[in-house]
Structure 1
Amino acid sequence: MQKSSVLFVASLLFAAAGPAQALQYKLSPLLVDSASATEAFSINNAGTVLGLAQLNLIQAVVWEQGTARQLSHDPQSYGSYGLALNQAGDVAGYDYYPHGIVRAATWTAAGRQPVSLSAEYSRAVDINAHGVTVANGFGGYAQDSWSWDGATLTKLLPFSPAYNDSPGSPLRPGTTAHAINDLGQVVGSGGTADHQSHAALWTNGQIVDLHGGGTGSAAKDINNAGQILVNTYFGQDVRAGLWQNGALSYLGEHSEGNGMNAQGAVVGWAGFGEGAQHAMLWQDGMEFDLNAQIVGKRFGFTYLEKAYGINDHGQIVGRGLTADGSYQAFLLSPVPEPGAWLMLVVGLGIVVRVKRRARAA
């Protein structure tokens, strides 16, 4: 009886100190000297952050151990723009040139390398642990997506073949990749023959339709467990959802997801009154406005607007609005909730006393 009581008390205490009850974060601004604005898109498990800084022109930036460095770019271009970061710190993105031209590129320990697509415009959008990159190429009336392993380009299948809407103007439903996991599975969206955009998964050489309803959808991220972040559009409204076990579960009202981690925690933003957006976290079936989870200093942030990335330690990056009206990149780092830890310490003391009495009996 006494042993059962000990186990019961312990289980209650550990449940009280669980992550769903102790979501609190320390806020840190991510700064770049002389930048009028910054934004953070991705964070890996080492805490390396990828983003951008508005200097004379926009430049891709990596923050490592509190220090910011700019990514190199083609000398003929204006600058670089990073979109995704893998666990090794490799970056996928693009250089941008005059007249709106963009060219896909990656940045690794070996340096900057262009992704050689035949398209007029291209962007590398993600890179996995094996250095496999997914990129989108577009120009004219077509947009296509490829995976690239550094030597071979593999085109991602569309949902349907070309169709004719008008004589002499055949159109091909396009594809748009957004993310790739370490298994080589790619997610994004594809155009259909009836002019809709459906969330898509490319796996084992096939394309899988993930559309669960609404007027359109797009898959934004996928983890190694096969969980997929899907945004579904209902006219002008959007709802974030998680696709797993063959079904889509919506996460929040008026919400848009952007990134997820290995545990299936999703970050993004949701609409609030008067058009404002707040950075959000969806985890363990619960929804959190990250503005309400901050402890300590706020460093001049009026509110956190968008969360873009989350790593497996629960660190979150994005952008917030500051008092002077500019955007600033932020990092949120989880901290223990003092009340929960105090309850845990006191409770463990109770458990120890109960066990001592049990031995003495």
Structure 2
Amino acid sequence: MQKLLLGAVLATALSTSAFAAAPRYKVSVVGTGIAGAALNEAGHAVSNRWGGGGAVTGMFYNGSTNVSIGTLGGSTSWVSGINKLDQVVGFSATGTADHAFLYGNGTISDLGTLGGNASQANAINDSGIVVGKADLNNGQTHAFRYTTTGGMQDIGTLGGSYSSATSVNAQGDILGYSTTASGAKHAFLYANGTMTDLTVKWSAISPDWGTVVGLDNLKFGHDGSIVGSVGFDWMGSNRFGMVYLNDQMTVLGAAAQVSGRSASGLTLMSDSPVPNSLVYSNGHYSQITDLLISPNDYSSVFFQYNTDINASGQILVAGWDINQQQTATYLLTPVPEPETWAMLVAGLGMLGWTARRRRTVA
């Protein structure tokens, strides 16, 4: 009986919080002088730090400090992805060309190329599948899939000479871009060994909007969606935020880019052309600054670009500190709304009363 009651209380609390436009957040500083790139479920992050002469160094944040991941022998490194094992991917100068790397446990490893000079890793999933792009010995550049057992594998193109993989989900499905035989740039989904042209597919399912002419910043959401930005033939160079889920495309007009989506559907957005961090939930748009628990503590910070969100809804965001005159990266962690806590406390109190009553009756 107590277990059933607790389940009912929890369900009620969760359903109550689900109707909130967006959660409230507490803020912690990942680091100053860095731009965050990606976030894992533990709240660990990777960022890029600009140094003198335009040099960039990839940084790994372990929850308390930032650690340089080093390079492959050259002067720079750039990070782009991290998984739950704290494995980090990106690309680094080797002294002759940029190569994709895999970093873990303090060691950075060169992933090589597809026979050409350069390569670049863009994302990694929790199983350790790395995706990116690499040069072939014929001068073309193709998207790749890398595993420790299979090495770097060419996944092909949509008929052109160029492709690049940008995101990989838990199932190993891959998103990216490719040129077609005519030279046009299209988005693709690679799954079960087959590359599907998303630009063509989504043009066919969105007749009310028109023909898709641009898909950018595509990545997988944690709820099975695909997010990014989309443009249509009648919009010129304009882009709208986009969420594709269950074979339906939702166009979000309040921002030009969707940066990620949590398991609950909380959608991370960045406005454009004026940088502005937004959160979209249940039909409501909210600015990050309006959702902070202690907004006065960060009144000098202009939150500009949302870069990533994990499954539980933590947000990695880059901002500009007006007082310090420098870029900084922040980790925003959602906290339960007061009514949710009240519901849980009331439920626990009810359980205690039920237990006491049962002992009295006995």
Deviation per CA, 1:40-85: give whole Å up to 9, x if none: 111111111111223443211111131111112123x112211000
Give 5+ residue unaligned stretches, structure 1: 1-7, 161-171, 354-361
Picking from 49, 64, 67, the partner of 1:66 is 64
Picking from 93, 100, 105, the partner of 1:104 is 100
- 2:326 equivalent to 1:338: no
Provide the C-alpha distance between the structure 1 equivalents of 2:22 and 2:34, rounded to a whole number of angstroms: 29
Amino acid at match of 1:39: A
TM-score (norm 2): 0.79
The 5 A counterparts of 1:1-361 are 15-18=15-18, 20-21=20-21, 23-31=23-31, 37-56=33-52, 57-75=55-73, 77-96=74-93, 101-109=97-105, 111-117=107-113, 118-138=115-135, 142-150=140-148, 151-160=150-159, 172-211=160-199, 212=202, 213-218=211-216, 220-223=218-221, 226-233=224-231, 234-271=235-272, 275-296=273-294, 297-299=296-298, 301-323=300-322, 324-338=324-338, 341-342=341-342
Deviation per CA, 1:101-155: give whole Å up to 9, x if none: 4221110237211111123332100112222211212599743111011343221
Provide the C-alpha distance between the structure 2 equivalents of 1:348 and 1:22, rounded to a whole number of angstroms: 25
Provide the C-alpha distance between the structure 2 equivalents of 1:238 and 1:298, rounded to a whole number of angstroms: 34
Q: Shift of residue 334 of structure 1?
A: 0.7
* Paired residue total: 331
Question: Does 310-319 or 278-287 show the bigger shift?
Answer: 278-287
Q: Shift of residue 19 of structure 1?
A: 5.9
Amino acid at match of 2:251: Y
Give 5+ residue unaligned stretches, structure 2: 1-7, 203-210, 354-362
Amino acid at match of 2:34: T
Provide the C-alpha distance between the structure 2 equivalents of 1:10 and 1:46, rounded to a whole number of angstroms: 24
Deviation per CA, 1:208-257: give whole Å up to 9, x if none: 12223332113621257642113213432111212122222113333202
Any conservation in 2 of the 1:197–1:217 contact (CA below 8 Å)?
Answer: no
Provide the C-alpha distance between the structure 1 equivalents of 2:61 and 2:78, rounded to a whole number of angstroms: 14
Provide the C-alpha distance between the structure 1 equivalents of 2:221 and 2:291, rounded to a whole number of angstroms: 25
Q: Shift of residue 25 of structure 1?
A: 0.7
Deviation per CA, 1:279-325: give whole Å up to 9, x if none: 12233444332222112154464321111111122110020111044
Provide the C-alpha distance between the structure 2 equivalents of 1:38 and 1:10, rounded to a whole number of angstroms: 39
| 1:357 paired residue number | none
Q: Relative to structure 1, is the Cα distance of residues 26 and 268 closer, same or farther in structure 2, using a 3 angstrom cutoff?
A: same
Amino acid at match of 1:154: Q
Amino acid at match of 1:91: V
Any conservation in 2 of the 1:22–1:336 contact (CA below 8 Å)?
Answer: no
Provide the C-alpha distance between the structure 2 equivalents of 1:313 and 1:122, rounded to a whole number of angstroms: 32
Q: Relative to structure 1, is the Cα distance of residues 266 and 196 closer, same or farther in structure 2, using a 3 angstrom cutoff?
A: farther
Q: Relative to structure 1, is the Cα distance of residues 148 and 11 closer, same or farther in structure 2, using a 3 angstrom cutoff?
A: closer
Q: Relative to structure 1, is the Cα distance of residues 349 and 220 closer, same or farther in structure 2, using a 3 angstrom cutoff?
A: same
Identical positions, percent: 20
